[in-house]
Structure 1
Amino acid sequence: MFDRAKQILIAGFCINLCIGILFTWSVFKKALVVDLGWTNSEASLPYTVAITTFSITLLLAGILQDKFGPKRVLIAGTICSGLGLIASGYITNPTQLIFTFGILAGGGIGFGYACLSPAAMKWFHPSKRGLVNGLIAAGFGIAGVYLAPLITSLIGSYGISNSFIILGIALLCIATPLAFTITNPPPHYVPIASSKQTDKKVAVPQKEMCWTAMLKTTQFYSIWVMYLCASSTGLMIIGNITSIASAQAGMTDAAHLVVILALFNTSGRVFAGMLCDKIGGLKTLSLSFMLSIANMMLFPHYTSHIGLIIGMATAGLCYGTLPAVFPSLIAGFYGLKNYGTNYGVVYTAWGVSGFIGPVIAAVAVDTTGNYNLAYFYSAIIMGIAFMFSMLTKNPAVKPIGSVGKEENEMLNKKVTA
C-alpha cells in the first residue's frame, strides 16, 4: 500500500506540473500585446478572470470530490483545462479568450488542483501530512520555471495560436491519464506510522466536521484572516516584481527575478511542509510571518541587484509556506472526510487577497510614486497575521502510535485481498 501511496504522490506532483500553466500568463500577455496588438488591459483580463474562476471552482470541486471521490472530478478538470487551451488557439478577439482561457481553462485548473492534496493526504500517515502537501504544492509552484521558457520558445517558433493548441494537447495527453490513477484509499485503509515516529504526537481532530460546523469554530476565522493577510502580501510582491525592480534598482530586465521567486516559492513549500510535521502548523506560520514582517520593513532598502534577489527570495519562501501549511491545518483541525469542502471555504481568503494586494500597491504608487507605503501596510497586515497565529488554539494531539502497527497491516491486507 505504501508503494500505492507514493504513486499517488508522484502522479499528483506531475499533474500540478502541467496545470501550473496558470501562472505563466505573463509570457502569453507579452505575445498578445506585441504580436496581436492587444492593449495591456485586454491581454490581462483573461488571467484576472482565470484567477477568479480558479478560486470559485476550487470550492465547487472540493464539494464534488468529497461526495464522488477525486478521480472523476480530476479527470473533468484536466479535460476542461486542455480543451480550454486548445480553444484559445482559435480565438479572434479578447472576449473569446476570456471564455476559453479565463473560464474554461481556469475552471479546469481549479477542479484539478482541488483534488490532489486531499487524495494524497488520505494515503499517508498524519505525521507526513505537511511534507505531502508541500510536495504536491511544489509541482504547481515550480511549473513556471520550465513552462515560461518552453512557452517562449513555442511562441517564437509556431506563434501564439499554435502554442495554445500544442500546450492543450500535451496537457490532455499527460495529465488526463495520470488523473485516472488518483483515487482515495479503501474505506478501511489505515496508514502505518514508522517505528521511529511512534513516540511523537500529531494533531488529530476530536471529530470530523462539515463546513457549517467549521464556521462555528473560532479557529476557522483565525485561519481565514491569516490566509488573507499572508496571501495579500505575497501577491502584492508577485504582481509587481518587474515594476519594483525598475523603480528601486533601475532594472529594465527583471525576468530572472521571476524565476528566483518561483524557485524559492517551491522550496518554501517543501521546507515548510517538513517543518510543519516537526513543530506544528501554527508555529511554522509564526516563523514565516515574522520573516515576512522583517522582509517588508527592509524592502525599501533593497536598491541593488543583490538586495532585490534577497528580497524576492525571502518573499517567495514565505509565500510558499501557505499552500503547504494551511491544508495541513484544515485537516488537523477538522478532519479529512469533508476536507475538500472545508479547504474550499478557507481558500476564499486567497480569492479576496487577489484584490487587496494589488490595490495596496496601486494606491501606494499613485499617492507617493513608490512602493514604500505598500511595504509599510504589508508589514502591518503581517503583524495582524502573526498575532492570530500566536492566539489560535491548537486542536487535540494524539500519539502517532495510538493505532497498533499489526492492526494496520491486518486491515490493509484485508482490503487488498
Structure 2
Amino acid sequence: MPKKHTLMIISSILMMLLMGTVYAYSVFRYHIEDLYQISTLTSGFPYMTSLFFYAFSMMVTGRHLKPTRLRGFVFYGTLLIILGYFLSGIATHIGMLVFSYGVLIGTGVGMVYGVPIYMVQKLYPKRSGLMTGIILLGFGMSPLITAPLTSALIEWTSIRQTFFILGVVFLVLQLPLSYIFILKERTTFKQEPVEQRFKEKLKPFKRIYALFVIATLVGLMMIGLTYQVGVRYYGLNETHVTIALSFFAILNGLARPLFGKLMDNQGFKFSGILSVSLIVVASVIGLINRGSTFFLFGISFGLYWFNLGAWLAIVPATIKEFYGIQQYAKKYGLMFTGYGVGAILGTLASGYILDMLGETSYIYGFILALMVVSAILLSQMPKKIKRSI
C-alpha cells in the first residue's frame, strides 16, 4: 500500500471517529432539556434534524464528487461542523440549536462522510468493501470514546463550553486533515465497464433503496429503543443496560469491516440474505424473551445494532457492484437519503406502536413483517456481478 494511501486511510478513520460524536447526542439531551426548559420530544428535534441534513447533504454533494474536489468537500464540510458547534455554544433557544446542531453540523458531516467512502472505491477497487468497512469502523465505534469524554466535559465545565471545545477540536484536528484528500484521475477509472444493457433491464436501484430504508428503519428504531425497552419495559438493571450499550456499539462497529469483506467475496444478495436472517433471529428471540433474561435481551438487541452497521457497509459496496465507479458518487448520494427516510419512519412507527399498544411484542411482529418484504425483494435480485475493476 503506497504511503500516501495509508495516510489517507488513517486520516479517514480519525475523521470518522471525530464525526461520530454526532451520535453522542443522548449525552447532551438531558442538559439541553434543563438549559432550555423543554420537553423530551422537543429536545429530540436537533438530533432528528441533524440526521435528515446528514442524509440530504450526502445526496446533494454525491452528485458533484470528483477526485480533484475531495479536499474542498472535506474542508468546507469541516468548517460547517466547526461553525455549528460554536453557534450551539451561544444558542439562546432551541430553535437556534436546531439550526446550529441540526442543519449546520448535519450538513457538514454529510459532506465529509462521503469523501473517504468515494476515495476507497477509487483506490481499492478489488477490496473496496473491506476498506470501506474499516473506515466506517471509526464512525460506528465513536460513541465508545466520545460519549464518556463529552459527558466528562459537561460535568467539568458546562454544556455550552463543551460545544465550544468540540468546535476547537475539529478546528485543530480535522481541518488540517482536509489537505490530504485529493486524487488524480486514472485512465482505468474513465472507462465504465459493462453489462450496461443488463443493468438497464434489471433496474435494481429501487429494490436496493427499499431494502436500505427497511434496514435503517429497523436498526435506528431499535438502537433508539434499547435503553427504554431494557429499563422501562423489561425492568432490567440500569447499569447493566448501560454497559450493554457499549458492547452493542462495538458490534455495530465490527459489522462494518466484516460485511465489507463479505461483500467483496460473496456480493450483495448473499450478504443481504445473511443480514435479514440475523434480524429474524433477533426478533424471534425478542418475542420469546420479552425481558425474562438479560442474556437473551443482549443477544437480540446486539444483533439489531450489528445489522445496522452491516448495511452501512453493504450499501456503498453494492452501489459499486451494480453501477460501477463512474456512477458511484451520484448513486450513493441518492441512496443515502434512505437513511434519513428510515430514521423518520422508524421513530414514527415505534412511537405509535408503543404509545397505542404499549407492548414490545408488536414491535418485533412489525419487524418480522418487514423482513418478509425484504426477503421478497432479495429474491428478485441477481447474483454478484463480476467486474474487472
TM-score by length of 1: 0.86
The equivalent residue for 2:225 is 240
Contact preservation (8 Å) 1:122, 1:185: no
Contact preservation (8 Å) 1:77, 1:107: yes
Q: Which moved more, 1:75-84 or 1:355-364?
A: 355-364
The equivalent residue for 1:174 is 173
Runs of 4 or more, structure 1, over 6 Å off, are 213-216
Contact preservation (8 Å) 1:296, 1:379: yes
Q: 2:341 aligns with which of 352, 357, 362?
A: 352
| 1:48 to partner: Cα distance | 1.1
- Mark the CA change 1:288 to 1:41 in structure 2 (over 3 Å): closer, same or farther: same
1:206 aligns with 2:194: yes
Contact preservation (8 Å) 1:135, 1:269: yes
The equivalent residue for 1:279 is 266
Question: Equivalents in 2 of 1:16, 1:64: separation in Å?
Answer: 21
| 1:174 to partner: Cα distance | 0.9
Q: Which moved more, 1:38-47 or 1:167-176?
A: 38-47
Question: Equivalents in 2 of 1:252, 1:29: separation in Å?
Answer: 21
The equivalent residue for 1:64 is 64
The equivalent residue for 1:366 is 355
Contact preservation (8 Å) 2:20, 2:139: yes
Contact preservation (8 Å) 2:90, 2:160: yes
1:139 aligns with 2:138: yes
| 1:235 to partner: Cα distance | 1.2
1:390 aligns with 2:376: no
Question: Equivalents in 2 of 1:59, 1:214: separation in Å?
Answer: 22
Question: Equivalents in 2 of 1:261, 1:365: separation in Å?
Answer: 23
Contact preservation (8 Å) 1:272, 1:324: yes
Question: Equivalents in 2 of 1:298, 1:344: separation in Å?
Answer: 35
| 1:138 to partner: Cα distance | 1.1
| 1:329 to partner: Cα distance | 0.7
| 1:214 to partner: Cα distance | 8.1
TM-score by length of 2: 0.92
Q: Deviations over 1:163-194 (max 9, x none)?
A: 0000111012111111211122442478xxxx
| 1:13 to partner: Cα distance | 1.1
- Mark the CA change 1:321 to 1:163 in structure 2 (over 3 Å): closer, same or farther: same
| 1:290 to partner: Cα distance | 0.7
1:158 aligns with 2:157: yes
1:182-261 matches, within 5 Å, as 182-188=181-187, 205-206=193-194, 217-251=202-236, 253=238, 254-261=241-248
- Mark the CA change 1:172 to 1:189 in structure 2 (over 3 Å): closer, same or farther: farther
Three-state SS of the structure 1 residue aligned to 2:90 is coil
Higher helix share: 2
Contact preservation (8 Å) 1:27, 1:148: yes
The equivalent residue for 1:31 is 31
- Mark the CA change 1:36 to 1:359 in structure 2 (over 3 Å): closer, same or farther: closer
| 1:299 to partner: Cα distance | 1.0
Q: How many residues align?
A: 383
Q: What's the Cα RMSD here?
A: 2.2
Three-state SS of the structure 2 residue aligned to 1:338 is helix
The equivalent residue for 2:252 is 265
Contact preservation (8 Å) 1:214, 1:220: no
Question: Equivalents in 2 of 1:3, 1:282: separation in Å?
Answer: 35
What amino acid is the match of 2:142? A
Question: Equivalents in 2 of 1:256, 1:185: separation in Å?
Answer: 45
What amino acid is the match of 1:163? T
Three-state SS of the structure 2 residue aligned to 1:239 is helix
Structure 1, unaligned runs of 5 or more = 191-203, 401-417
- Mark the CA change 1:155 to 1:37 in structure 2 (over 3 Å): closer, same or farther: same
Q: Deviations over 1:119-156 (max 9, x none)?
A: 122111x3211101101211111111100000000000
- Mark the CA change 1:264 to 1:396 in structure 2 (over 3 Å): closer, same or farther: closer
The equivalent residue for 2:103 is 103
Contact preservation (8 Å) 1:133, 1:323: no
Q: Deviations over 1:225-249 (max 9, x none)?
A: 1101111111110111111102442
Question: Equivalents in 2 of 1:396, 1:313: separation in Å?
Answer: 31
Q: 2:294 aligns with which of 299, 305, 327?
A: 305
1:3-18 matches, within 5 Å, as 3-18=3-18
| 1:20 to partner: Cα distance | 1.0
Question: Equivalents in 1 of 2:320, 2:69: separation in Å?
Answer: 17
Question: Equivalents in 2 of 1:143, 1:349: separation in Å?
Answer: 22
Question: Equivalents in 1 of 2:333, 2:200: separation in Å?
Answer: 13
Three-state SS of the structure 1 residue aligned to 2:236 is coil
- Mark the CA change 1:205 to 1:362 in structure 2 (over 3 Å): closer, same or farther: farther
Q: Which moved more, 1:351-360 or 1:65-74?
A: 65-74
Percent identity over the alignment is 23
| 1:358 to partner: Cα distance | 1.8
Contact preservation (8 Å) 1:208, 1:337: no
| 1:6 to partner: Cα distance | 2.1
What amino acid is the match of 2:194? Q
Q: Which moved more, 1:168-177 or 1:305-314?
A: 305-314
The equivalent residue for 1:339 is 328
What amino acid is the match of 1:96? M
Question: Equivalents in 1 of 2:220, 2:282: separation in Å?
Answer: 14
